[in-house]
Amino acid sequence: MADWTHRNREVIMNTYGRLPLVIDRGEGATLIDENGKRYVDFITGLAVNIVGHSHPKIVQTLCEQGEKFLHISNLYVNKPAVELAERLVAATFPGKVFYTNSGAEATEAVIKLVHKWTKEQKTGQDGIVVLEKSFHGRTLGALKLTRQPGVYQDFPVSNFPVYDVAPHDLAALEQVLKEKKPAALLMEPVLGSGGVVPLDSDYVEQAAKLCQQYGVLFCMDEIQTGIGRTGKLFAYQHTSVNPDVVLFAKGIGGGLPLGGIIVKAEHAELFKPGDHGTTFAPSPLSAALGNTVLELLIDDGVLDAGANAAEKLQNGLQELQKEYAGCIESIRGLGMMIGIVMNLEPVKVKEIQQTLLERGMLVDVTQQTIIRLLPPLIVSDEQIEFFLALFTEVLSEVSE
Ligand SMILES: *Cc1c(COP(=O)(O)O)cnc(C)c1O
């Protein structure tokens, strides 16, 4: 039976609005479907494939580590994991890493870490502040910190306080810190599925200052913004803040599941044996790929090349916005995380996504009317031009 779309519907639970596309293989920023049709991929598996598909160095590491061992558990020293933690700490701040298999599990680790900190502090602080429209994952704990109308929330949750404030509202943040005495503030430097909303550096810096003033842990969810996505290894590095905790996942494993948290040295002993753990994380294979991803980004110049490519793409889109101001309200984002805010009905935006797909271009839609671009850092000038030309063509048809 060759109808994979049908077979998928029969046996896979229906939790995603899946595009009718059966992928056969990938090469760089290109995906190729079962009929040999090629697509330029500006979704990268939802911000995962930061160096594109089947990068030769990733494939090489995959084979090399595969020949050694795939899993050994946390009972022994896992060399690729040690090396990767050394790289992550060197690229951020003195501290230690706790590994997970996914983004949501990184959020869960933060919830537990914050709780342990609360108990040790004995200041009566409790709970976590998040921003409206933020996304921090879908497990029961992480879900409580996710603030999106499209995400079903009505599951039982453990009993810790969560407060939300609007992004960019410092007065509201200060009021919550003062009155509710929370233990931590958790934010995405660019709200991702909340509509690609970059936070102003000034706001992030002032928020960090307030955290310091009120003795609150400042935690950055860099699960989507991290690993070079915004032009720096982590997006907080565009500002002057020093977070207490950084969450990472998505891009780090080069396509394999891997996540975790980097915790500042002064809080890095909060977890002791028995406090937290998982059988799989970090997979030695994922960690080995993590080392290759960071090698590519930092040593081989992919980070800088990606930042330049992102600027080209953003500039091209700004020009297009002026020309088609009737359908494009604005272009926003940071680096390779771009939101095209459409001034059209949600069905029209879906149609544009569909037309782009038919003509060989994969883009995401979030918050109904925002076209979200998450290209890989290795995207070529030709692929950027292909997208801009095709998008222009589709916009001119829409505005006829
Ligand atoms: C994707 C994402 C998560 C959840 O990660 P999963 O690996 O899907 O569990 C959490 N926070 C942010 C900002 C994300 O983009």
Per-residue confidence (pLDDT) for residue 214, from 0 to 100: 98
CATH number of 2-55+301-399: 3.90.1150.10
pLDDT confidence of residue 153: 87
- For residue 136, the CA-to-ligand 1 centroid distance in Å is 6
Q: Which of 136, 247, 283, 337 to mutate to test the pocket of ligand 1 (most atoms within 8 A of CB)?
A: 136
**Quick one: pLDDT at residue 156?**
87
CA of 382 to the centre of ligand 1 (A): 30
Q: How many A from CA of 103 to the centre of ligand 1?
A: 4
Per-residue pLDDT, 150: 85
Q: Is the CB of 249 under 6 A from ligand 1?
A: yes
Q: Where are the domains of the chain?
A: 2-55+301-399, 58-299
For ligand 1, is residue 135 a contact (CB within 6 Å)? yes
Q: What is the CA radius of gyration of the chain?
A: 21
User: Is 256's C-beta closer than 6 angstroms to any atom of ligand 1?
Assistant: no
Atom in ligand 1 nearest the alpha carbon of residue 249: 7
pLDDT at 192: 95
Ligand 1: does its nearest atom lie under 6 Å from the Cβ of 248? no
Strands (E) located in 101-214: 128-131, 162-165, 184-187, 190-191, 197-198
Q: DSSP assignment of 135-162, as one string? A: ---SSHHHHHH---TTS---S---S--E
| 192 CB near ligand 1 (under 6 Å) | yes
Q: Which atom of ligand 1 is nearest to the CA of 134?
A: 13
Nearest partner of 251 among 206, 214, 299, 303, judged by Cα: 303
Write out residues in the chain with pLDDT < 50, as ranges. Answer: none
pLDDT tens digit string along 74-96?
999 999 999 999 999 999 999 99
- How remote is the CA of residue 135 from the centroid of ligand 1, in Å? 7
- The one-letter code for the residue type at 207 is A
**Fold agreement between 2-55+301-399 and 58-299:** no
CATH class of 58-299: alpha beta
Pairing assessment for the beta strands 95-100 and 259-264 based on DSSP bridges: antiparallel
Q: Is the CB of 41 under 6 A from ligand 1?
A: no
Q: What angle do CA 330, 143, 332 make, to 5 degrees?
A: 10
Instruction: Quote the ligand 1 centre to 87 CA distance (angstroms).
Output: 22
Q: What is the DSSP letter of 283?
A: P
Residues 6+ apart with CB under 8 A from 370: 195, 196, 339, 340, 341, 342, 349
- The pLDDT of residue 19 is 82
